[in-house]
């Protein structure tokens, strides 16, 4: 971190770290005990650690201004990739563990922190925000610089964003383990963590806009449209869904200001658009950069890109109500959610089709290069899961699938098949470049990872399709005498083989991710300092 900062920037960094430490101390002192005090202590420790790190290197040789201005700022991306892999390990291990608990519930250890209810949000937050979020931030810094031919607008804020964002993730996850939760899916973090994320996010959006404003290219590339949509809409969703009144300024507990069916509607407006703008828009940005770069092919259709982007941002925001079919939510809201979900299909498929058609002329590379194959499979799963999503949003279909493991399977065909695959494709493209090398340290491990990931995803998704359809059919079956054909218990017992398969599929996927992490570690440890041949020279920069 400190190596790429000038002495003045290091001083600014120390000042910010002192502020963070003081803020943490204040929180810990105000709360005195409980979750919030632990979180205050975490911020204090982080702030002090940063003070020592930056202070110890304060008078080291600083990079010369001109030399630095002629290079892209990739230090934050490197750190972000590390955090991506760290959170992948945390989130995926938690996921495999809770999947195993569903098959062996009696294996639950006797401590509250290890119960299913506390570990499940550790899995979802660890994956969505930790793994996905860090990957998005890290790649967005890489992509915006190269597609704009401009260095990041300043050197300090990327670090503030990444460190601040990971503090949010750590607060959220440790809070769940201690029993603090807002009980809102994908928004379980408590009020002060939410406020902190808003601060970090505003800095992120400002940095992105400032960097784009410095661009040397006349047009803004599609990937940046998607990254901007991701940053902007996630800010809006996060703020509205998390408006809450703390019980006390010195405690973690808060209550949402929304109530009843309005609360449910706002929660799923947030929840589905977390899928749309966090897990889709941002990752489409990633796809739009790394797929053409890796395949060496032009994007197949600029016009389809436009249709996809505006279709996705316009239709997605309407569809959250399809999570509340057949509930107290008025029928008319359900109809709108259903129809917009169906209309969303064409822009989604246009994206997937555009990505696959881009590979025309590069199929030999897809065959030989596991990294590019990750991206191809990601595009295919993106197409499959968006079709499934529109299908499940149709009300009568939903009456079968709702509350079943089909939903879990659908989410994982998106997260494992699409989100994680495109992240791995991006990582395997980025990491050698960050290390100044031509290729990853262990090329054959990529091949192993690819097949473990694809098979693991298929085992997982097929098991959950079977599980969900079985549950849906068992729950709705009446016998000739008008009595339910199955008790709920029987439907639980019927899940045993599928839950075992799910744990196995997840473990395969985890094994692949462990290979990826070790591979990245081996590659980054042999970093060579040299200019990247693939990079266009940076355009002339304004004086800093």
Partner 1 sequence: MADTTDPHALPGADPHTGNRRIDPVTGYDTTGHDWGGIQELNTPFPRLAAIALLLTFLYSVVAWVLLPAWPTGRDYTRGLLGLDQGRMARDGYQAVDAVRQGWLSRFAQPDFAALAADDLLMAQAMPAAARLFADNCAACHGTSGKGGPGFPALNDADWLWGGDPETLAETITLGINATDDSRLAEMPVFDWLAPADRQALAAYVSALPSGTAPGDSPGAALFAENCAACHGDGGTGGLLAGAPSLTDRSAIYGQDEATILTTLRHGRRGVMPAWSQRLSPAQINLLALYVSTLPQAKP
Residues in contact with partner 1 by the rule CB under 8 A: 146-149, 216-219, 221-222, 289, 292-293, 297-305, 307, 311, 326, 330-332, 334-336, 338-340, 342-343, 345-346, 349-350, 353, 360-361, 478-490, 534-536, 539-540
Nearer to partner 1, 457 or 491 (CB): 491
Give just the sign of the alpha carbon dihedral 182, 82, 441, 435. Answer: positive
**Dist. CA 191–CA 172, nearest whole Å:** 10
CA distances to 59, 91, 129, 187 from 123, rounded to whole Å, are 42, 5, 10, 13
Compute the least distance from the CB of residue 479 to partner 1, in Å: 7
What is the smallest separation between the CB atom of 344 and partner 1, expressed in angstroms? 8
Q: How would DSSP label each residue in 204-253?
A: HHHHHHHHHHT-SSSS--HHHHHHHHHHHHHHHHHHHHT-EEES-TTSS-
Binding residues for heme b: 123, 410, 412
Is the CB of 311 or the CB of 506 nearer to partner 1? 311
Least Cβ distance, residue 328 to partner 1 (angstroms):
9
In a 3-state reduction of DSSP, which class is residue 440? coil
SS3 track for 242-297: CCEEECCCCCCCEEECCCHHHHHHHHHHHHHHHHHHHHHHHHHHHHHHHHHHHHCC
**Shorter beta-carbon distance to partner 1: residue 127 or 338:** 338
What is the smallest separation between the CB atom of 396 and partner 1, expressed in angstroms? 11
Torsion 255-256-259-260 (CA) sign: negative
**Residue 431 Cβ, how far from partner 1 at the closest point, in Å?**
18
Nearer Cβ to partner 1, position 56 or 296?
A: 296
Task: With beta carbons less than 8 A apart as the criterion, state whether 81 and 286 touch.
Answer: no
The annotation places the binding site for Cu cation at 272, 322-323
Known binding-site residue numbers: 123, 272, 322-323, 410, 412
| Residue nearer to partner 1 on the CB measure, 170 or 474 | 474
Q: How far is the CB of 30 from partner 1 (least distance, A)?
A: 40
Nearest CA-CA partner of 351 in 300, 293, 292, 277:
300
Which CB, 59 or 110, lies closer to partner 1? 110
- C-alpha span between 147 and 28 (Å, rounded): 43
What is the rounded distance in angstroms from the CA atom of residue 143 to the CA atom of residue 431?
A: 14
């Amino acid at each position: 971190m400190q190596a790429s900062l000038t002495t003045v920037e290091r001083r600014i960094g120390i000042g910010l770290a002192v502020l963070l430490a003081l803020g943490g101390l204040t929180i810990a002192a105000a709360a005195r005990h409980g979750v919030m005090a632990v979180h205050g202590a975490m911020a204090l420790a982080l702030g002090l650690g940063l003070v020592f790190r930056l202070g110890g290197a304060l008078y080291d040789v600083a990079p010369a201004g001109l030399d630095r201005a002629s290079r892209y700022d990739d230090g934050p991306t490197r750190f972000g990739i590390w955090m991506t892999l760290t959170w992948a390990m945390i989130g995926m291990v938690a996921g495999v563990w809770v999947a195993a608990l569903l098959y062996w519930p009696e294996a639950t250890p006797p401590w509250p922190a290890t119960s299913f209810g506390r570990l499940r949000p550790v899995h979802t937050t660890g994956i969505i925000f930790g793994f996905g979020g860090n990957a998005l931030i890290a790649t967005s810094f890489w992509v915006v610089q190269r597609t704009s031919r401009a260095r990041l607008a300043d050197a300090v804020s990327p670090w503030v964003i990444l460190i601040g964002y990971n503090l949010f993730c750590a607060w959220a996850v440790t809070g769940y383990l201690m029993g603090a939760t807002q009980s809102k899916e994908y928004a379980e973090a408590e009020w002060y963590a939410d406020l902190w994320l808003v601060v970090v996010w505003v800095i992120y959006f400002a940095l992105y806009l400032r960097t784009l404003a410095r661009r040397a290219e006349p047009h803004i590339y599609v990937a940046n449209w998607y990254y901007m949509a991701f940053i902007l809409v996630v800010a809006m969703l996060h703020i509205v869904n998390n408006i809450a009144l703390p019980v006390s300024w010195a405690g973690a507990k808060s209550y949402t200001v929304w109530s009843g069916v309005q609360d449910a509607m706002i929660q799923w407006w947030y929840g589905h658009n977390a899928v749309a703008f966090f897990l889709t828009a941002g990752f489409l940005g990633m796809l739009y950069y790394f797929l053409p770069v890796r395949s060496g092919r032009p994007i197949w259709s600029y016009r389809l890109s436009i249709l996809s982007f505006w279709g996705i941002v316009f239709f997605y925001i309407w569809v959250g109500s399809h999570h509340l079919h057949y509930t107290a939510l008025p029928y008319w809201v359900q109809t709108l959610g259903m129809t917009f979900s169906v209309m969303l299909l064409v822009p989604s498929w246009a994206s997937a089709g555009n990505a696959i058609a881009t590979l025309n002329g590069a199929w030999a590379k897809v065959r030989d290069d596991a990294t590019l194959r990750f991206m191809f499979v990601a595009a295919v799963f993106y197409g499959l899961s968006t079709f499934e999503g529109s299908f499940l949003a149709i009300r009568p279909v939903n009456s079968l699938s709702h509350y079943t493991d089909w939903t879990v399977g659908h989410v994982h065909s998106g997260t494992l098949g699409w989100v994680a695959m495109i992240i791995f494709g991006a990582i395997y493209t980025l990491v050698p470049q960050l290390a100044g090398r031509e290729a990853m340290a262990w090329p054959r491990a990529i091949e192993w990872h690819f097949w473990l990931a694809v098979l693991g995803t298929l085992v997982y998704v097929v098991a959950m399709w079977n599980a969900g359809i079985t549950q849906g059919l068992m729950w709705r079956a009446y016998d000739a005498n008008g009595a339910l054909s199955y008790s709920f218990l029987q439907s639980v017992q019927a899940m045993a083989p599928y839950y075992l398969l799910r744990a196995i599929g997840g473990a395969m996927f985890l094994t692949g991710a462990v290979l990826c992490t070790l591979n990245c570690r081996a590659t980054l440890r042999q970093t060579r300092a040299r200019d990247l041949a693939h990079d266009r020279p940076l355009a002339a920069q304004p004086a800093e």
